[in-house]
Every structure is written in structure tokens, then in C-alpha cells.
Chain A
Amino acid sequence: MNTKKKYIQLSLFLSIIIFIQLLTYFTGCEYHLTQLTMSAYYCLLIIGLCLLMGYAGQISIGHAGFFAIGGYISAFLTTYDLSQYKDKTILILFSKIGAALFRQDLYGGKVLNFHPWAAALIAIILTIIIAILIGSPVLKLKGHYLAMATLGFGIIVYRIVLGTEKFGAADGISDIPPFPLLFGIEVNGKPVMRVWNYYISWSIVFITMTFLINLINSRVGRALYAIHGAEDASRAMGVDTREYKLKTFVLSAVLASVGGIFLTHYNGGIGPSEASVIKSVKYVAIVAIGGMANLWGSLVMGLILNFLSLRGYFGTYDDAVFGAILIIIMLFAPEGLLKVKLFDFIKYVSFRSKKSV
């Protein structure tokens, strides 16, 4: 792709981010920024999944698992009181470098926790390890078998967070401290920081999007698309398909995990529903409706559908809406909605109506 097109797309994206913020400001619905911010963190997962499914052609119905792994590990490490171990050498070392620190909890007591940055780093490293352990054997599978195996992974993560006392079981983990960035700016859900947080979240998406757009228009992206189309032939051309699939899987898992980490700090809590299979299905549905091999389509659909869902527009039918989306997409536009040629469709409709006159 020519670089000009890339810059036009990216600047359009940037303008839309700013436009939406201004829109909420001038229409007095700045409270919408909360759901827009949350959508951004889900979009991080979605564009990663789009790379994995649409480009590399490997389905995962377990990505909510990685989102939850990021969220839960950082939540746990930043809230679990380590005071009882404070004399252990390793913790003294952690405190010295600032990776662990004392803070006041909700009730005014002093607790020793991991610093959010340290916690996030550990969460990401663990995500990478888990993604490699799961991905290495599972990515040998294809089609339905891969779908089933990743689904199994998602279920395992869900049952673990639901059944673990230390992870708050059905209640999840709350009272999670903000995530400090530079100059006193932090990822938190305080209304005064709303605009800041909107821009923080979408900046992260913007940067990630830039990286992924670069990737798909490169040697690696071409190889991924080749694997998708004809795995044996791409191997004959010298593409190490195992490595490429695994790296893409890990990359998408890390993006999901980072989304989970930031959303958890933003919300100040996380619950087991983040790990549920229905969430994974939702993400797959969004990538499908976005056009599968279409990063921008997935991003737009991720923003719109997550926002509507978080605002409660689908009410109690929320899960059903996404189920219906999947059915409709698979029946009428397995290539994704945005790939259906609108022009052809109009021609088809007008031709039909003329005929019936």
C-alpha cells in the first residue's frame, strides 16, 4: 500500500477521535466518554484478533481469556497485600526499585502492593508465556478443531477466575489503584479525568493501529495472508508457518491482555464475566462483521457495537444481538459486512424491483 493512503487513513482516524470528544462536549453528554473509553480497550483486543483471524486465518474463541489474564493478574498484584512478606529479600529488592510499594487501602490501613507498572509488566510476560504454551500445540490444528481448542482455553480461564478465592471468585477484584502515567496523569475512572482518559485510551489504539497497518502492508503481513490462503504453498516458498502463526497469536494475546490491564485500572475492578466465553464469541462476531481481513472495519465495528452494548442499548438481549450478528454474517456475508459491495447490492435491488413492476 502506498504510504499516502496510510497517512490519510490514520489522520482521518485521529480527526474522528477528536470529533467525537468535541461532539460529546458540545452536546453535553460527556458522560458518554466513559463507555467510549472502555470501548477503546476492547478495540485493542479486537484489532489484534482481526490480525489473527482475518490475516493469518487462525480463529480463536478464547481471546476473552487473555483479556482476563491481563486484567486479573494486574488487579491481583496491585491489590493483594504483601505486608506479611515484607522482610523477604525479594520484596525488599522490589521495594528498592519501586516495583512494590505501600499505599493506603480503602479503610486507611497500610498495604504493600506491586506498583501498577510492575504488575502490568508481569501480567504481559505471563500472557506471553501462556500464549506460547497454548499456541504451540493448538495452532497445529485447523478450522473447527482450532475453534474448539481455543474455546476450551477460554472456558478454563473462566472457571479458574470464577473458582479462585484469591481472585474474588464470583465478585472479582475491586479497589484497584489507578495506573499512573506521566505528570500526574493516570488511568482511572474519576469524572475529572474523563477527557484525559478518553484520549489516553484512544491514543493507545491509534498507536497500535499504526503498527498493525504497517505490519499487514509488509513482508510479514504478506506472508500471513499467504498462510491464510494456502499454508502448504507458503511453506514451499520458505515461510516458517509455525513461527508466523505463533507470533501472531502471541501478539494478539498481548494486545488483549493490555486492553484488559488498562480497562481494569480504568474501572477500578474486574469480574469473571470478562473471561466468559460469550465475550469471546462477541469479539469474533465483531471481527466478522467488520470484514474479517479488515482492520479498519473491525475497529469501527468494535467502537460502535461495544459502545451501544455498554450503553445498554441492547438491554437484556445483548448476548442475543451478537449471536444474531454471527448467524446473519455467516449466512449472507461470510466475507464480512463491509466487504459486501454496496453498489452491487443496490443494482440487485433495483433490478429486482424493476422486474416486478
Chain B
Amino acid sequence: MSLLEVKNLYKSFGGLQAVCDVSFNVQDGMIKALIGPNGAGKTTLFNLISGVLKPDRGEIFFNGLPIHSIPQYKIASYGIARTFQHIRLFPKMTSLENIMIGRHTHTKAGFISCMLSLPFTWKEEKLVREKSMELMKFLGVSELASIDALSLSYGQQRIVELARALACEPKLLLLDEPAAGLNMRETREMGEFISKIREMGITVLLVEHDMSLVMKISDEVLVLSYGQKIAEDNPLSIQKNKEVIRVYLGE
């Protein structure tokens, strides 16, 4: 069964059709890449899947459950986490605290128990901290734990944002241009991390402009142009697809 099923999705902004009749599946355990020129509707599609936007028409199923009409905050507890094209870390919080927020759906302490500082909240807090440190270690950024997240370099911020999404323990990870703004070494490392994440059993759907990265790590590629799906295939066939070449190289 597919982990994610997108069926005939439509979204327009005013007169602009940003996503038009897009359907595709993401199989459990794969890395699927979403490519297309700027303004093709890739981020909009991510926003639809992650509940930021509601589709005008169409359906999205995750693990067989409809998710196209539930509130955005519930998406994380279904097992979908994301990063943002324009990094959205929490300011005035350390990297560790940023990542700890990712554990929100896996913890319970509410207003009253936190105010009373009930013992179970300490235990939760300790586990949250340990798990978050573990992730920082996994991504090789333990030494950044107590540094204000927004004072980190761009590449480090992308890693912290990735760690924050991983802290949600998602089944599906949506990465919107994870290598944008990274230098060559950082891009290579990011590719390695994404492959490792897949090995952990997490399915990945990513938007990326770096074609060599996309071709290297992904199992399937979906091409979007002007809101429409124009191709969906394995990386090798996509590279040979005439329509795709036309879209990328211009008429």
C-alpha cells in the first residue's frame, strides 16, 4: 500500500492555478523527489500535504486516512513532518530547544501539570532532552546544542531544522529544498543524511533543484510544471524524458 496518496488535487490563488489535477503516490520506504521550475507549485503542494493550505478540490490520504480537511496542527501526530524552503527556526531559542519542540506530539504535560511541576513532567522532559541530543549527535551537531539557533550558519540551521523534523518521529518527511544555499560539501552531507534517514525506515518526499543530488538519492522523480504533473518515473528515464528536457531547457 502507498503511504501517501494524492488524488486530483487542485489549488488556485486568485486567478492563478498553482496546483492543477495532480495525482501521485509515495510508496512506503522510498525517496521521492519533486522537481520543476520556479513557481511550478512544488511548495504549494507541500503546503497542501502538510495542512497549511486546504485544497480547492481533491483528496490526500495518509496510511489510508483522509488528511486533506484536518487542522494543520494535527498533521504532525499523523506522522508527517516537514522542513521549510525558507528556514523557519524558532528565534531566541537554542538549537536544542528548537529540536525539543519536535517532541511535542510525543509528550503530554498540559498547563496544570506543568504549573504544578508534577513528577511525570520531569521524566518526560528528561526523555525529550535525551532524544533531542541523540538526534543532534546523529547529525553531527551536538556541539551546537546550547547555541542560539538563529546565530548558526545557514548550513547548520538547515541541519537543526532537519533534526527538529526528525524529532517528530515521522513516517513521512517532507523536505522543501534541503540543499538550497548549501555549499558543495554541505550538499553532499545533506544527501548522505537523507539516505541514512531512509535507512531508518522514514519515507522521504523532497523538493530539490540540485539535479545531481536528486538523481543520486531518489528512487522516483515527479516533475511539475505550471501546476501540472508532466512526468513521473525513475531518475534515469526522467533524464531522458523529452517533455522534461523541454521544460528545463526552455522551448
Contact = CB atoms under 8 A, between A and B. Distances in A.
A236 B90 contact: no
A234 B77 contact: no
Interface in B174-221: none
Contacts of A226: 90, 93, 101
A220 B100 CA distance: 12
Prevailing SS type, chain A contact patch: helix
Given A220-B110, A236-B75, A229 B90 contact: yes
B164 to A, nearest CB: 7
B73 interface: yes
A223 interface: yes
Given A222-B100, A223-B101, A238 B92 contact: no
Contact of B111 (A222, A239, A241, A247): A247
A220 B92 contact: no
Nearest to B104: A238
Contact of A236 (B81, B109, B116): B81
Interface in B80-106: 81-82, 84, 88-93, 97, 100-102, 104-105
B157 interface: no
Given A211-B115, A212-B115, A237-B102, A220 B109 contact: yes
Given A237-B168, A238-B168, A218 B121 contact: yes
B73 A215 contact: no
A239 B73 contact: yes
A232 B116 CA distance: 29
Given A235-B73, A237-B76, A219 B117 contact: no
Is the interface on chain A under 10, 10 to 19, 20 to 34, or 35 or more residues?
A: 20 to 34
A222 B98 CA distance: 9
A221 B114 contact: yes
Contacts of A211: 115-116
Contacts, number: 92
B128 interface: yes
Nearest to A240: B73
Interface in B113-128: 114-117, 121, 124-125, 128
Contacts of B102: 237
A105 B59 CA distance: 69
A240 B110 CA distance: 12
A338 interface: no
Interface string A234-255: 1111111100000100010000
B72 interface: yes
B50 interface: yes
B138 to A, nearest CB: 18
Interface of A: 211-212, 214-215, 218-223, 225-226, 229-230, 232-241, 247, 251, 293
27 contacts: A214-B115, A214-B116, A218-B114, A218-B121, A219-B107, A219-B109, A219-B128, A222-B93, A225-B90, A225-B93, A226-B90, A226-B101, A229-B93, A230-B88, A230-B90, A230-B91, A236-B72, A236-B82, A237-B101, A237-B104, A237-B168, A238-B73, A238-B105, A238-B168, A239-B101, A239-B104, A241-B73
